[in-house]
Amino acid sequence: MDEQMAALADEISAAGGVTVLTGAGVSNASGVPTFRGEEGIWNNEFDPADFRMDRFERDPAGFWTDRLELHERMFGDVTGPNDAHRALARLEDLGVVDVVVTQNTDGLHAEAGTNRLIELHGNNARSVCVECGESVPTETALDDVRAGNSPPSCPVVGCTGHLKPDVVLFGERLPGGAYDSARRMAWESDVFIVVGSSLTVAPASTLPEEAAERGQLAIFDTGETEKDHLAHYLVRGDATETLPALVEAVQARLGREADARGVENVTQEG
Ligand SMILES: [Zn+2]
C-alpha cells in the first residue's frame, strides 16, 4: 500500500475531527460536466452572465428558459453516485469522517448515503419560492417551463411569488448558516480533506487555509490546486480510485486495532 495513504489513514483514524470539502471533480465520473477550465461548459456552451442573480431578478422568464437547457446539459447524463461518493459515505459509516462540505449542487453525496452534509451552494433538485420560501422539486418547476409557463410560479394558494432554483447563483451571497457551519467545522477539524476542487472559488477556497493553520490538510486531485503549497498530504489521481484506496487503508488499520484488542483479551483471560 502507498505509504502516504497509510499515514493519512492513521492520521484520520486517530483524529478528533475530520472534515471533507468536495468540488466538481468528485462528480465528473458520474457524468456531471466540468464547469470551469478549457473544457468547461462556461467556456464553451453557456454564458455565466445568463445565470446570474441580477438576470434572474430582471428577467425570470428568460432565466428559466435558459436554465432548462443548462439543467438538461448538466444532469441529462448523470449516472448516479460513483465510487468516490460511496467511499466518503463509507468513511462516515466507519466513524472517521465527521462531515462532508460540498460545493456541488447535484445531490450525489446524499444519494450515496452521506448523512452529515453541508451543501454550500444549495441543491439543484429543489426550487424555492422567492416570496414565501415554499420548496418544490425542480423537476416540477422545469415541467412548467417545458409547458411554456415561464417563470414557474409558487404552488401555494394566494402566493404570487415565482420559483428560483435552490442554488447559489453567480452574484448571490452564500447562505450564511451553511458557510458559518463549514467554517467552524474546518476550524475544529484535526484533518481537513479536499477532493476534486480547484479551490479557486471564494469563499470556499479560504476553508483549507484556515484548516491548515489548525490541523493537517490533505488534497486529493487529478492536478494541481491553488493550495497545494499548504497541504501536508497531496494525493494525485482520480478520486474514484484514490478515495476507495483510503477506505481500504482505514479498514486495514481498524482491522489491526481489532486484532490487537483480541490478543489483549486472550491474554487477560489466560
Ligand atoms: Zn410562495
For the segment 108-154, what is each residue's pLDDT rounded down to a tens digit? 999 999 999 999 999 999 999 999 999 999 999 999 999 999 999 99
Residue 22 contacts residue 102 (beta carbons within 8 Å): yes
How far apart are alpha carbons 194 and 21 in whole angstroms? 5
Distance in angstroms (rounded) separating the CA atoms of residues 243 and 5: 10
132 is in an annotated binding site: yes
What's the burial of 268, exposed, middle or buried (CB within 10 Å: 0-12/13-18/19+)? Answer: exposed
Q: Which of 141, 43, 28 is nearest to 74 (CA)?
A: 28
The share of the chain scoring above pLDDT 70, in percent, equals 97
Distance 257 CA to ligand 1 centre (A): 54
pLDDT at 266: 60
Note if 232 is an active site residue. no
| Centroid of ligand 1 to alpha carbon of 204 (angstroms) | 30
- Distance (Å) from CA 106 to ligand 1 centroid: 24
**What pLDDT shows up at residue 58?**
97
- What percentage of residues in the chain have a pLDDT greater than 90? 76
Q: Say what the pLDDT of residue 270 is.
A: 43
The domains located in the chain, with CATH, are 1-31+82-121+175-270 (3.40.50.1220), 33-77+124-167 (3.30.1600.10)
What's the 125 CA to ligand 1 centre distance in angstroms? 18
The alpha carbon dihedral of 6, 220, 180, 116 has a sign of negative
ipTM for the complex shown: 0.99
Q: What is the dihedral of CA 155, 160, 166, 169, to 10 degrees?
A: 150
Annotated binding-site residue? 159:
yes
Residue with the bigger pLDDT between 186 and 131: it is 131
The pLDDT tens digits of the residues spanning 68-116 come to: 999 999 998 899 999 999 999 999 999 999 999 999 999 999 999 999 9
Q: Which is the catalytic residue, given 71, 85, 109, 121?
A: 121
Give 63 Cα–ligand 1 centroid separation in angstroms.
18
CA of residue 159 to ligand 1 center, whole Å: 5
End-to-end CA distance of the chain: 35
- Binning pLDDT at 50, 70 and 90, where does residue 60 land? very high
Has 154 been labeled as part of a binding site? yes
